[in-house]
Amino acid sequence: MIYRIAICYGRPADPAAFDAYYAETHVPLARKIPGLSAFTWGLCSALGSGEPPYYMVASLDFPTAEALDQALASTEMKAAGRDVRNFATGGVTMFTQSAQSGLAP
């Protein structure tokens, strides 16, 4: 099982500024979070017509529930969380998830 924090970003006022800030400033902060086993992010596109509900989704994965809890309480996570207000002009939705692989037998 994977323990995940999912961060869903709404469409920012200035997508180019969001992208640059995210890559240059926020990603280095997120990579410092203790216990992190995987960190992925990507821009969203709709499968059909119209706009997707989110501009970008990021996933922070942890190997155990304990590692997730420790990360949530860490100063590094708090710093990354405070930084979100510096670039997420389109709003943000965050939640935790217990993820299982559909590929495992």
Confidence of residue 63 (pLDDT cuts 50, 70, 90): very high
pLDDT at 64 over 80: yes
pLDDT value, residue 105? 60
User: What domains lie within the chain, and their CATH numbers?
Assistant: 2-99 (3.30.70.100)
On the question of pLDDT at 10 being above 70, the answer is yes
Residue 17 in tokens? 């500024």
Please give the mean pLDDT across all residues of the chain: 94
β-pair type (56-62, 2-9): antiparallel
Q: Are 8 and 94 a contacting pair, CB within 8 Å? A: yes
Check whether 37 has a pLDDT greater than 90. Answer: yes
- Residue 90 · residue 11 · CB < 8 Å: yes
Nearest to 12 by CA among 60, 57, 58, 56: 56
φ/ψ of residue 88, rounded to 5: -85, 65
Q: Is the pTM of this model over 0.85?
A: yes
